[in-house]
Structure 1
Amino acid sequence: MRRLLIATDAWHPQVNGVVRSLQHMVEAGRDFGFDTVLLTHQDFRSVPLPGYPEIRLAHATRRKVAARWDGLSPTHVHIATEGTVGYATRRHCLSRGRPFTTSYHTRFPEYLAARLPVPQAWSYAWLRRFHGAACGTMVSTPSLERELGGRGFANLMRWTRGVDTDLFRPFEPGEGSDAELSCLPRPIFLFVGRLAVEKNVEAFLRLDLPGSRVVVGDGPDRARLEGLGTGARFLGTRTGASLARIYAGADVFVFPSVTDTFGIVLLEALACGTPVAAFPVTGPLDVIGGTRAGILDPDLRAAALAALSVPREAARAEALRHTWAESARQFFGNIASAHAQEEVPAHAAPALAGLR
């Protein structure tokens, strides 16, 4: 059986779309003829990222990756993130002339610019260099593929996302509901996600909406957001059936981010029969655009109010079109086709290593 090494800086105990996506791929590997192993921050000494303690910065080097590599003996390599683990694995692959694929999950240029005065052009130049050495870079949506192609990224491959429609589903009357929502004035507008500046949660909290606003999630921006005094209810992190009940108990899911590359939470909300309100940007455009499952509008308040009229059956029907089985089919198909080319000849490895 082929052995796929996935190198990622994003892994448990982090709670985000990257981790959920990779977890599903690990579980599906054997169905596609792959024994999947992981190289994460847990394999190295690490320290918490300042101001973002749930993210660990691994002390990963090419030498340390090499020490782990021989025991894992991968036939295929996928580098999922551009952090220290991903970068060290990339250097090791180049030094040995081993092909690898990458994936583009996060808009680091926008995230970095929201915190520090770093021009986005500099960050995108570094990312082009990072991904340019790969034999394929996976992106989640057509709009992201067009955008990155316009920025000079090459060898782009489509890798969609899915949702567990058995876990995330509507709940019948009397089947159980979330007690924390039952006492709130209707309608209930919900946000689920990481509480960080790049998620634009403040835009949601400041909307003049009837009823109640509920926030699920945690992150470095939580204290500031709670201190805004908007009257929103903050419930902290929820997972599994508890999270599904909250989705199902809300009237509209509001997605204020303008930087996400997909937004798995969109599919989770739809699967629970909850329509979506969002800006018409990458992610929502690809998931909601052209469907009857939600409303996209540059005026987020108008979108949220209009989404109250979207049939919950239409939201659920759209989610049923997005499966993790199809996501895995694309992912492992990309891995197989990209690695089908011959490995880089040994005499060419030093030249490629210069791309580091």
Structure 2
Amino acid sequence: MTSILIVTDAWHPQINGVVRSLERTAEELRARGLRIEFLTPAVFRTLPCPTYPEIRLSLTTAATVLQRVEAAACDHLHIATEGPLGMMARAAALKTGRVFTTSYHTRFPEYLSARLPVPLSWSYAWLRRFHNAGQGCMVATRSLEDDLRARGFTHLMRWSRGVDETLFKPYHDSVLPDDLPRPVFMNVGRVAVEKNITAFLDLDLPGSKVVVGAGPQLDSLRKAYPDVLFTGPKVGEDLARHYASADVFVFPSLTDTFGNVLLEALACGIPVAAFPVMGPLDVIGGTDAGVLSEDLRQAALDALEVSRAACRRVALHYTWAASADAFLSNVLAAQQAAGCRGAA
């Protein structure tokens, strides 16, 4: 195995866990001598996704995607998203008999139902058909694996995430305004309805609330919560310093499959307060790095007592090198399984 083509609808200028995971995995695999190619919306004309203009939908044809997949001449095809490019790449693979894997990053049915009256069963039926056609579907956590298996998904493979511990680390100086009352409770991520941010903003907490990120809800939430500091999106060291300037990281999402931001906060030494759901249960559950409770306010208050050193210790168990190793192992297993079936 020397080359992999990754097809993804999620790409720059989006700032999210999917993009970061794909980029860092590619970096690690390239360092191992593999050739990693991407097929993304960057090479096509695009239009904004309805209700979510930050997401760009590719304007192309199945024939064009097939040509690009064939031209890449890679040994393996990995389809990271279920958008237009992902659907056309899947069709290309099935048409040519190419072995491919997929990954399940987003609980799309829950995201869709938060915006439109679409039954979850309809969305999951479509996603099950999409992912079961491949030789493997990569998922980040045991909770997600168990959930999808119960819904009829097959060939599930584990692919966890990592964190850059040299960038996301404790910093001594705060980048927040000096007059911002302490303690500071912070959320970082996409400012969108499916992230359930209002559950955090509505909490009666001492000190201050800070939201870092951009998204379709940003303007409306700024108006509705004038006492909250909305910083807009941050990247690189500036983002890491914002994490490190907080006292507690509050993660109100009920729909994330993992939550890379959890690892980034922990690596900066910031304890997490979250609901006991998929993602937080897998990362925080059974550790001393945060507090999980149906009472998010109490979890946030209790998290103030959590050791920052303990948070960083938990984060250091997650490396991008291990993540890339798992990804490659899944690819090789899928190729081997396909070969064995073919031989049979």
Category of TM-score, reference length = shorter chain:
over 0.9
SS at match of 1:55: strand
Query: Does the Cα contact within 8 Å between 2:201 and 2:225 map onto a contact in 1?
Result: no
Corresponding residue number in structure 2 for 1:251: 247
Q: 1:15 to 1:254 in 2, by over 3 A?
A: same
Show the 5 A alignment for 1:25-44.
25-44=25-44
Q: Does 1:184 align with 2:204?
A: no
Q: 1:225 offset after TM fit, Å?
A: 1.1
Query: Does the Cα contact within 8 Å between 2:102 and 2:137 map onto a contact in 1?
Result: yes
Identity score, percent: 58
> Amino acid of the residue matched to residue 238 of structure 1?
K
Q: 1:205 offset after TM fit, Å?
A: 0.4
Aligned equivalent of 2:227, options 226, 231, 235: 231
Distance 1:319 1:334 in 2: 23
Q: 1:343 offset after TM fit, Å?
A: 5.6
Q: 1:230 offset after TM fit, Å?
A: 5.3
Distance 2:339 2:47 in 1: 35
Q: Does 1:324 align with 2:320?
A: yes
Corresponding residue number in structure 2 for 1:309: 305
Q: Which runs of 5+ in 1 are unaligned?
A: 347-356
> Amino acid of the residue matched to residue 329 of structure 1?
D
Aligned equivalent of 2:200, options 185, 190, 204: 204
Q: 1:32 offset after TM fit, Å?
A: 4.0
Q: 1:229 offset after TM fit, Å?
A: 2.8
SS at match of 2:98: coil
Q: 1:49 offset after TM fit, Å?
A: 1.0
Query: Does the Cα contact within 8 Å between 1:4 and 1:77 map onto a contact in 2?
Result: yes
Query: Does the Cα contact within 8 Å between 2:136 and 2:334 map onto a contact in 1?
Result: yes
Corresponding residue number in structure 2 for 1:269: 265
Q: 1:60 offset after TM fit, Å?
A: 3.3
Distance 1:274 1:206 in 2: 21
Query: Does the Cα contact within 8 Å between 1:46 and 1:57 map onto a contact in 2?
Result: yes
Distance 2:276 2:153 in 1: 23
Q: 1:224 offset after TM fit, Å?
A: 1.6
State the aligned residue count.
342
Show the 5 A alignment for 1:3-152.
3-152=3-152
Q: 1:345 offset after TM fit, Å?
A: 9.5
> Amino acid of the residue matched to residue 49 of structure 1?
C
Q: 1:48 offset after TM fit, Å?
A: 1.1
- TM-score w.r.t. structure 1 length? 0.93
Distance 1:65 1:57 in 2: 14
Query: Does the Cα contact within 8 Å between 2:101 and 2:136 map onto a contact in 1?
Result: yes
Q: 1:13 offset after TM fit, Å?
A: 1.0
Query: Does the Cα contact within 8 Å between 1:247 and 1:272 map onto a contact in 2?
Result: yes
Q: 1:70 offset after TM fit, Å?
A: 3.1
Distance 2:30 2:16 in 1: 24
Q: Which runs of 5+ in 2 are unaligned?
A: none
Q: 1:25 offset after TM fit, Å?
A: 1.2
> Amino acid of the residue matched to residue 248 of structure 2?
V
Distance 2:315 2:322 in 1: 13
Distance 2:75 2:110 in 1: 34
Q: CA RMSD in A?
A: 1.5
> Is 21-30 or 189-198 further displaced after alignment?
21-30
Q: 1:187 to 1:161 in 2, by over 3 A?
A: same
SS at match of 2:224: coil
Distance 2:202 2:257 in 1: 24
Query: Does the Cα contact within 8 Å between 2:168 and 2:240 map onto a contact in 1?
Result: yes
Distance 1:240 1:148 in 2: 33
Corresponding residue number in structure 2 for 1:349: none
Distance 1:344 1:44 in 2: 37
SS at match of 1:145: helix
> Is 335-344 or 239-248 further displaced after alignment?
335-344
Q: Does 1:293 align with 2:289?
A: yes
Distance 1:52 1:266 in 2: 24
